[in-house]
Chain A
Amino acid sequence: MTQPTPEPGATVAAEPRATSVAPPRKLLWWRFRKHRLAMAGLVVTGLFCFVAVFADFLAPYDSGHFNADYTYAPPQALKVVDTSGDGWDWGLYVNGYLSERDPDTLEQTFTVDESTRIPVRLFARGPSYELFGLFETDIHLIGPADPDGQPMYLLGADRLGRDLVSRIVHGTRVSMSVGLVGVAVAFVLGIVLGGVSGYVGGRTDTVIQRMVEFFMSLPTLPLWLGLAAAIPRDWGPLTRYFAITVVLSFVAWTGLAREVRGRFLSLREEDFVTAALLDGVGRAGIIFRHILPSLTSHLIATLTLSIPAMILAETALSFLGLGLQPPVVSWGVLLQEAQQIRVISSAPWLLLPGLAVVSVVLALNFLGDGLRDAADPYRR
């Protein structure tokens, strides 16, 4: 037979630019890197995750550690050098308190006492804990040099004289994990039902869609409240924690299911999926090797964007006393302390957990937006 004549020049592609040989994952990363806000979001989110994982080590005390002598003690500034004496005296320290009780109201007021000095050190000894449940240690990143001496309150103390730094750090663990676990549960529900609905289509699709629509037509917050309130009071902290997580995801899965279904539907119509079918790829192969990989980046973006809603909802529920209950510490539980305006006006530092909430929610939003833009530069 004749040699087919490849058209000369048909193959003169210009020298490969970096982008032309890069796998899609790398392209995605390149696009993502261009969003400065999203990169900042990534860093902040990473920091919070780090804090959540190493909470025991980072916090000077454990979350329940209290000292009734220091009710509502104000924050102390961490100082590096002491210039009060003659010359410069290097070394970490905080000033102690002068406490005074109002003879009329019996209220205790604190003032920072510049003259006393509580030495502080890194890797100080404190309450012992088990790191990852593996080995026991009592080293904390920072703490008073003398574990039995005066306590240290970098961000102040609450009603029971508990250290706010430690409580926020421990709360990070709970609040972040509620978000992640909740989203994971919602994700499983959403992807299974949404995927089935989108791929199978027909009657199944109709039924699932009606179900999703029904759930979406319910008002979210009252439903959350109602379900959370219905959780028996006598359940243990851990059961309660999971119950709350399930309640949160129960409402959130519908949005995910919709998104997954929509994507499935549009991908199913794509020519490359038809091509795979004609290549003799089975149903499972089409779903797992062709449709799902194309979905992942969007899914990750959507998931990232639904974590903040979870965190906010948990915070709100706990704030109202319907969510997690002490002794579990989450940001919402901490903010419960700050319900009274009078309390805030005397101890405004109790609002600080709110700052943590706002920053993590912002960070996750930026991160998610950046991911979505990178995953799909042509859609908004």
Chain B
Amino acid sequence: MLSFLGRRALYMIPTVFLISVVSFAIIQLPPGDYLTALVTRLEAQGETVDQTQLEGLRSRYGLGEAFHVQYWKWISGIVADLDFGQSFEWNRPVADLLADRLPLTIALAGATVLFTWLMAFPIGIYSAVKQYSVGDYVATTLGFLGLAMPNFLLALLLMWIAFSTFGLSVGRPNPVTFAIAIGVLGTAGTAGLIRILRANLLDELRKPYVVAARAQGLPERRLLVKYPLRVAMNPFFSTVGWLLPSLVGGEVIVATVINLNTVGPLLLSALQSQDMYLAGSIILILSVLTVIGTLISDVALAWLDPRVRLRTGR
């Protein structure tokens, strides 16, 4: 088990490295560099630019040098003292901006995953056990709808309803908008999980070991919980992996409708104004979090599923 963990952790290193390269490439993609953009902007506002300060920045970021030199300066800054660069849009260090917003983002993520599990688990089981019942059809149809509905559309609809029927104020964040955000963000995930859980469970229910356990005289409910369900639950743990990024992705979109103080809107505005240090850093952090999430879900899987744990351990 330990060696499994160690190996999995080692595998992360090349992935994280590649991710940082891609993120940096995204930073570099728009034509022109950040300083030129800054200068034009400052000059447009009629401010003068201090040439020595400019030179200092230029060498600080290695601007005008080869890609790998710039990359090195960027990444070593991040690794050494969490210096993600400067957001020229906000005129603040990227790290500070993120520190402001990450806690709420993570709270939202946690709430959403809880919501998703609480919804998907009972519905998925019901749907599989009572296959082809009315409830199954309703759940399946709703599941399809949840997958087909773009989440901003759902957000718009819910907000519109809240606004027009309850006179909700849309301007500033409040608990109701937070709740709506959770609902909207969790819908697609819930629908997906219900589908996967149902399909997995149906598969497992047909396995010979279920008949064998029944032949021992195990009551149906205990049988269901102890055997097929445990296998069918695997997707719940893989959700942890893709949860945060997909959430922030969804949040970006939802935030245009619902005002939230999270990372999503920050990313969006950074992208819209091509504030690439900010955008690239967010993408980097999200990707690294994804990798860590995948690691966690893999470990959880290995811990729960002896087949994974013992076979790969050999």
Contact = CB atoms under 8 A, between A and B. Distances in A.
B148 A365 contact: yes
B29 to A, nearest CB: 4
A358 B149 contact: yes
A380 B272 CA distance: 42
A320 B148 contact: no
A220 B245 CA distance: 8
Interface string B178-213: 000000000000000000000100110000000000
B144 interface: yes
* Listed residue (A219, A221, A308, A365) with the most chain B CB atoms within 10 angstroms of its CB: A219
A354 B30 CA distance: 31
Interface in A288-346: 308, 312, 315-316, 319-322, 335, 338-339, 341-342, 344-345
A341 B267 contact: no
A31 to B, nearest CB: 18
A191 to B, nearest CB: 24
A246 interface: no
A354 B245 contact: no
A308 to B, nearest CB: 7
B202 A219 contact: no
A358 B286 contact: no
A341 B294 contact: no
B145 A358 contact: yes
A361 B144 CA distance: 9
B57 interface: no
B252 A226 contact: no
A341 B29 CA distance: 34
A340 to B, nearest CB: 9
B167 to A, nearest CB: 11
Contacts of B252: 221-222, 225, 320
A319 B160 contact: no
Nearest to A224: B249
Interface string B1-44: 00000000000000100110011001001110000000000000
Contact of A219 (B26, B203, B274, B290): B290
Which 8 residue pairs across A and B have the least CB separation, nearest first? A221-B249, A219-B245, A230-B29, A229-B271, A361-B148, A354-B153, A226-B26, A362-B148
Contacts of B279: 226, 229
Contacts of B283: 219, 222-223, 226
A221 B245 contact: yes
Contacts of A20: none
B153 A357 contact: yes
B286 to A, nearest CB: 5
A19 interface: no
The dominant DSSP class at the A interface is: helix
B159 A341 contact: yes
B268 interface: yes
B153 A345 contact: no
Contacts of A380: 199, 202-203
A358 B153 contact: yes
A147 interface: no
A293 B31 CA distance: 46
Given A225-B268, A380-B199, A380-B203, A217 B253 contact: no
A335 B153 contact: yes
Given A230-B29, A348-B160, A358-B153, 18 more contacts: A213-B15, A217-B291, A218-B287, A219-B244, A219-B245, A219-B246, A219-B283, A221-B245, A221-B246, A222-B287, A225-B267, A225-B271, A319-B150, A322-B271, A335-B153, A341-B163, A358-B149, A366-B144
Contacts of A230: 26, 29-30, 274, 276
A222 B245 contact: yes
A380 B257 CA distance: 37
Interface string A197-230: 0000000000000000110011111111111111
A232 interface: yes
A351 interface: yes
A312 B150 contact: yes
B164 interface: yes
Contact of B150 (A220, A232, A315): A315
Contacts of B253: 221, 316, 319-320
A224 B152 CA distance: 16
A242 to B, nearest CB: 17
A362 B144 CA distance: 7
B280 interface: yes
A362 B145 contact: yes
22 contacts: A218-B19, A219-B287, A221-B248, A222-B248, A222-B267, A222-B287, A223-B22, A223-B283, A226-B280, A226-B283, A229-B271, A230-B26, A230-B30, A230-B274, A320-B252, A320-B272, A335-B152, A341-B257, A345-B164, A351-B157, A354-B149, A357-B150
Nearest to A348: B160
Contacts of B248: 219, 221-222
B66 to A, nearest CB: 20
Contacts of A358: 145, 148-150, 153
Nearest to B274: A229
Contacts of A213: 15
Contact of B170 (A316, A341, A357): A341
A339 B257 contact: yes
Nearest to B198: A380
B271 A219 contact: no
A335 B153 CA distance: 9
Nearest to A221: B249
A320 B283 CA distance: 17
